[in-house]
Every structure is written in structure tokens, then in C-alpha cells.
Amino acid sequence: MTQARQNKRIRSGDKVIVIAGNERGQIGTVLTRTEDRATIQGVNLRKKHQRCTQDNPKGSIIQIEAPIHISNLRLCPNPDQAVKVRVKQEKEGKALYYRDGGKEVRLRSIKKTVSQ
């Protein structure tokens, strides 16, 4: 049985910008992450109709964030600036770097994660 590996570049808590689709240009924080999709705070909002319950006798329409494919996202460490990250080998392990004005800036280290 093969286990799917998650993309190590985008993880929960990262600030990302949407680079494709109807939500292009919006910036948000990653709330949850599955194998190839991420839920971004305040991005890709969908309406959900809730039925009547004892707690909510009238019912309601709420807005929830729908997941986006990670190929449509890019890391955004600086405001309004999407960056292309690359992996570099270090003594301790691997780390993510991006270029800023000709010099390389370290973003964070990478841990291997395997989803189940």
C-alpha cells in the first residue's frame, strides 16, 4: 500500500496568495491541509444552507471556506509579494529558500510528513 506524501512547501499557518482562478490575488492564512488541497481563511467562500433545528429554529445560510488546490497557491512571506521557493540541503536537513533582491532568504526548515 502506497502512502501519499504532502507537498512540504505549503502547510497550516502559512500566509499564501491565490495565483489562479476566480479568487486570484487574494491573500489568506492556511487553516487546514489535505493531500493536494488547502482551506484558506476568507478565500473561496461558499454558501451552505442549514436546516431548521431546535437550536436554530429558522434555519440559516452560512458562508464556509471551500478548499483550493495547492497548485493555485503560492507562499507570500511579504505583503502582496508571491515568491517562488526552492529546497536547499543544509547540515541539519532541508530548508526552503526564496530570492529577495538577488540574495537568498531562508523561509523555514522542512520535515518529512506522511499522510495516512
What pLDDT band is residue 2 in, cutting at 50, 70 and 90? low
The predicted structure's pLDDT at residue 16: 93
Domain range annotation of the chain: 15-110
**How many CB atoms within 10 Å of residue 107?**
17
Mean per-residue pLDDT, 102-110: 84
Residue 5 sits at the vertex; the CA angle it makes with 10 and 85, to the nearest 5 degrees, is 30
Classify the C-alpha dihedral 91-92-96-98 as positive or negative. negative
CA distance 39 to 37: 7
pTM for the structure as a whole: 0.76
Q: Is the pLDDT of residue 82 over 70?
A: yes
- Three cell numbers, residue 5: 506524501
Exposure string over 5-30, b if 16+ CB within 10 A, otherwise e: ebebbbbeebebbbeeeebeeebbeb
CATH number for domain 15-110, candidates 2.30.30, 3.10.450, 3.30.300, 2.40.50: 2.30.30
pLDDT, one tens digit per residue, over 46-66 is 999 999 999 889 999 999 999
